[in-house]
Chains A and B, each alone.
Chain A
Amino acid sequence: MAVEMRLPVARKLLSESVGRDTKKHLVVPGDTITTDTGFMRGHGTYMGEEKLIASVAGSVERVNKLICVKALKTRYNGEVGDIVVGRITEVQQKRWKVETNSRLDSVLLLSSMNLPGGELRRRSAEDELAMRGFLQEGDLISAEVQAVFSDGAVSLHTRSLKYGKLGQGVLVQVSPSLVKRQKTHFHDLPCGASVILGNNGFIWIYPTPEHKEEDAGGFTANLEPVSLADREVISRLRNCIVSLVTQRMMLYDTSILYCYEASLPHQVLTPATPSLFLIHL
C-alpha cells in the first residue's frame, strides 16, 4: 500500500527552445494582431481602435487575406468527417442526444444508426419504441460527423460496421486541440490494446478484440472479464496519455507508443510520478 504526499511545485515556464521551424504566433485576449487594416477578420478577432485585436487565447492563422485566431482551450467544434466518441445523455423520439464535449449536445438520428445484422430498411414505429434496446443513457459510442447545423450542433452517424456501441475499456477526456488530425483514428497498438482517438478529445482505450467479427459495430457488449495482462497494458496506456496531456504534447499513435515504450522499465505507476520516465524520451 502506498500513500505518497509531497509539497507543491510551481509550474516552470515552458521555454520555446524545442527546435521549431516555424514559430507560432501566440496571442492572448487583448493582444494586437496587426495594425494593417487590409485584412478580413475571422473568428476570434475583433476590430478596435483601428487595430485587429484577439478575443481568445490561441495561435494566429492566416489564409491570404483572412486572419483568425484558433483557440487552444475550447470546446469541440465539429467538422464533417471527424471521428468522435460520445456518451448518450438522452433518448428522444427519433434520435439520441450525445455528449461530445461541444457547446451543444450532438444528435444521432435513428435513421443514421445501422441496425443489427446490417439490414437496410426504413425505420418503423417499432424501431422507435425499441430505441432504448439499442442505446441507453450512459452508453458510449464511436461515430462520424455527418453534418454540422447552423447553430454549431453536430449530427452524427454510425453507418459503418466499425462505429457503434463501445464495450469494456477506459475513457480518458482531454482537450480537443491535443488530438492530431490523421487519416485514421482507430489504432491497434502492437502492445496489445487498441485505442480510438476521438477528435472531440475523448480517447477510448480497449482490449483488442480477438477476431474481427461483424460484432464490431454491434450492440451486444462483451462482458467477459478482461485478462490481467491486457488490463496492465490498458492502465499503462491510460497513464501515458495522461502524462502526455499534462506536458501538452499532441496525441497520435506514435507519440503514445513512444511514451509507452519509455515507461516499460517502470511499474504501472499513477501519472503522479511521470518524471521518472519522461526524461528518457
Chain B
Amino acid sequence: MASVALSEAEKVYIVHGVQEDLRVDGRGCEDYRCVEVETDVVSNTSGSARVKLGIEDPSQTLGGHLPRSEGLLTFSKSHFGHTDILVGVKAEMGTPKLEKANEGYLEFFVDCSANATPEFEGRGGDDLGTEIANTLYRIFNNKSSVDLKSLCISPREHCWILYVDVLLLECGGNLFDTICIAVKAALFNTRIPRVRVLEDEEGSKDIELSDDPYDCIRLSVENVPCIVTLCKIGYRHVVDATLQEEACSLASLLVSVTNTGVVTCMRKVGKGSLDPESIFEMMETGKRVGKVLHASLQSVLHKEESLGPKRPKVGFLG
C-alpha cells in the first residue's frame, strides 16, 4: 500500500486530534470524504463505474477581486491525496461450476496500476491486488449478495459469468471502501443481454440473442454489501482514513455490511493488536456507518439514472 513518511510530531498531532473528534481536515471520526460516482464510463463493457473519493468541487468559480494566478490552464488533477477507482463488468457465457450447476458466478480481478504510485510498477502491485481480490471473493461468497440463479441460462450447460475488473488509478487511503462502492455501482449499471434457449426436435439446444440491443436484464444490487474500514488510532477508531492517518494506525478492521446492517464478513489488517471490546465497538460503528453509506449510494445511483441518457457525461476529460 502506498505510504507517506511522517514526523513524530505530526503523528502526535493526528492522534490527539482523533481523540478529540476533530481530524486534520475538520471531519469527525465517523465522516467520509466527499464521494463522486459516475456510471457507464467505459463503452465496451456491460457495466462500469468510476468512483473518486476526496475530490474537491471545481465547478464554482470565484467572482472575487483576488488576483488570479497565471494558472488559467487547468492542471490535470489536484494532488491532495484522493482515491480514484475504475470498475468494468463484462458478462460472458460459460459453463457453470460443477457444485453449483444452476447458478452463474462472479470473477474478480484487481489491477493496481503504476499510475497510482511508483511502488506499483511492474509486479509491485500484485500483492495488494490479490489481497483485494480475495477480500472481494469473501464478501460475495454468500447466497444473498447477488442473485446468482438469475445468471443461469440452462442448468449444467450455460450460465453468465460476470468478470469484474477493478483498476486502481490513484491511491489516497481507504482503498477497500472505495472499491466496494465502485463494484456496487458497476453492478447496478450492468446490462446483461436477454437470451432464449431454443430446443430442436432432436434435442440440440440453440441460444438466441434478442435483436433489440436494449432488451436486457439487470441485477438487483439491493443486498450487495459495502466495506467500511475502521482504523484504530490511539484509543479511538476512524472511518475513511487518509494516507497520513493510515500511517498513524497500527491495526484496522474491515467490516462488510449490507444495506440493512447485516455483517457479511470481517477482517483485521495491520501488525498491531486489537482488544475484543474495541472490535465490538468498531463493528457497531461499521454497521451504523454502513447503513448511511448504502442509503447515500442508492440515492445517488437512482438520481443518475433518473437523469436518463441525456445526462451530461463527464468521463475522463472533465
Count of chain A to chain B residue pairs whose CB atoms are closer than 8 Å in the complex: 217
Cβ of B132 < 8 Å from any Cβ of A?
no
Are B31 and A2 in contact (CB-based, < 8 A)?
Answer: yes
Asked if B7 and A57 make an inter-chain contact with CB atoms under 8 angstroms apart, the answer reads no
Binds A, one of B51-59, B98-106, B139-147: B51-59
Q: Mark B289-308, 1 if CB is under 8 A from A, else 0.
A: 10011001101100110000
Pair B68/A272 contact, Cβ less than 8 Å: no
Which residues of B sit under 8 angstroms from A168, Cβ to Cβ?
A: 9-10, 12-13
| Main SS class of interface, B | loop
Binding site for B on A (CB under 8 A): 1-12, 14-16, 18-20, 24, 26, 28, 57-59, 72-73, 87, 89, 137-140, 166-173, 175, 177-178, 221-223, 225-226, 228, 231-232, 234-236, 238-239, 242-243, 245-250, 255, 258, 267-275, 278-279, 281
Name B54's contact: one of A2, A138, A170, A272 (CB within 8 Å): A272
B298's nearest neighbour on chain A, judged by CB, is A5
B31 near A1: Cβ-Cβ < 8 Å: yes
Give the CA-CA distance A33 to B99 in the complex, in Å: 70
- Do the beta carbons of A281 and B70 come within 8 Å of each other? no
Interface members, chain B 216-248 (any A CB < 8 Å)? 239
- Of the four ranges (under 10, 10 to 19, 20 to 34, 35 or more), the interface on chain B belongs to 35 or more
| Cβ–Cβ contact B72 & A248, under 8 A | yes
Q: Does B36 lie within 8 Å of A26, measured CB to CB?
A: no
Q: How far is the CA of A139 from the CA of B8 in the complex (A)?
A: 7
A133-B306 Cα distance, complex, nearest whole Å: 62
Chain B residues, Cβ within 8 Å of A172? 80
Q: Is B198 an interface residue (CB 8 A)?
A: no
Q: Is the CB of B297 within 8 A of A235?
A: no
Residue in contact with B10 in the complex, picked from A73, A169, A279, CB distance below 8 Å = A169
Most buried by B among A18, A72, A166, A232: A18
CB of B78 within 8 A of CB of A245, answer yes
Please tell me which one of the listed residues A4, A228, A245 contacts residue B296 in the complex, with CB atoms under 8 A apart: A4
The answer for the CA separation of A93 and B79 in the assembled complex, in Å, is: 33
B-chain residues with CB within 8 Å of residue A274 when the two chains form the complex: 56-57, 60
Given A7-B304, A89-B5, A247-B62, A270-B72 contact (CB < 8 Å): no
B274: chain A residues within 8 A (beta carbon): none
Which residues of the other chain, A, contact B239 by a CB distance below 8 angstroms? 1
B189 to chain A, nearest CB (A): 13
Contact pick for B303, options A7, A11, A226, A247, CB 8 Å: A7
Contact B25 A14 (CB under 8 A): no
In the complex, whether B272 has a CB less than 8 A from a CB of chain A is no
User: Cβ of B34 and Cβ of A273 under 8 Å apart?
Assistant: yes
Residues of A within 8 A of B19 (CB): 225
A10 (CB) vs chain B CBs: closest residue: B318
Closest to A13 in B: B74
Q: How far does the Cβ of A175 sit from chain B's closest Cβ, in whole Å?
A: 7
Interface pair A12/B38, CB less than 8 Å apart:
no
A275 and B60 within 8 A (CB): yes
The answer on a CB contact under 8 Å between A250 and B67 is yes
Known contacts A140-B7, A238-B24, A248-B69, A11 near B58 by CB under 8 Å: yes
Q: Is B63 among interface residues, defined by CB-CB distance under 8 A?
A: yes
- Among residues of B, the one whose C-beta sits closest to the C-beta of A249 is B66
In the complex, chain B residues whose CB is within 8 Å of the CB of A139? 7-8
Is the Cβ of B56 less than 8 Å from the Cβ of A177?
A: no
Is A231 a contact of B22 with CB atoms below 8 Å?
yes
Contacts of B296 in A (CB 8 A): 3-5
> What is the chain B residue whose CB lies nearest that of A272?
B34
- B138: A residues at CB distance < 8 A: none
Say yes or no: B72 contacts A14, CB within 8 Å. Answer: yes
CB neighbours (8 Å) of B52 from chain A are 8
Report B-chain residues with C-beta under 8 Å of the C-beta of A225.
16, 19
A281 touches B64 (CB 8 A): yes
B12 CB to nearest A CB, Å: 5
Contact A272–B57 (Cβ < 8 Å): yes
Q: B28's closest neighbor in chain A, by CB?
A: A1
CB distance from A8 to the nearest CB of B (A): 4
In the assembled complex, the Cα of A22 lies from the Cα of B66 at a distance in Å of 15
A-B contact pairs, 17 of them (CB 8 A): A1-B239, A4-B296, A8-B38, A10-B314, A11-B59, A87-B7, A169-B10, A177-B70, A226-B16, A242-B56, A242-B80, A246-B58, A247-B60, A248-B68, A278-B60, A278-B64, A281-B63
